[in-house]
Amino acid sequence: MLKLLKKAKEENRPVEFIYYSPSSNTCTKRKVKVLSLNSTHLKGYCYLRNSLRTFSLDQILAIQPANTPSIKRKNHFSA
């Protein structure tokens, strides 16, 4: 996860992740531009909340680069 976050920060690209909030016992999908990063937290701009936020890395359940193109399936039945 740290490698992906560092790369996103270096390339100035957002990431998407599922974030668990223990205070509300809920998960939300977030799109975040990483601004700073250490071994336990990331600070970034959250597009869902339209504000700067701090996220605990141990509460990120899944992560991927944002705007990842979907894999196009080949049409095996075309003539």
Domain ranges of the chain: 2-65
Confidence at residue 68, expressed as pLDDT on a 0 to 100 scale: 57
Q: Taking a C-beta distance cutoff of 8 angstroms, is the pair 38, 32 a contact?
A: no
Write down the architecture of domain 2-65 according to CATH: Roll (2.30)
Q: What's the Cα-to-Cα distance from 17 to each of 24, 54, 78, rounded to whole Å? A: 17, 13, 37
Separation of alpha carbons 4 and 55, rounded Å: 15
CB atoms within 10 A of CB 45: 15
Q: In this predicted structure, what is the pLDDT of residue 62?
A: 97
CA–CA separation, 3 vs 26, rounded Å? 26
Instruction: Compute the average pLDDT of residues 60-64.
Output: 97
Reported as a pLDDT band with limits 50, 70 and 90, residue 78 is: very low
Mean pLDDT of 42-48: 97
- What is the per-residue pLDDT for 67? 82
Q: What is the pTM of this model?
A: 0.80
Q: What is the mean pLDDT of residues 51-71?
A: 87
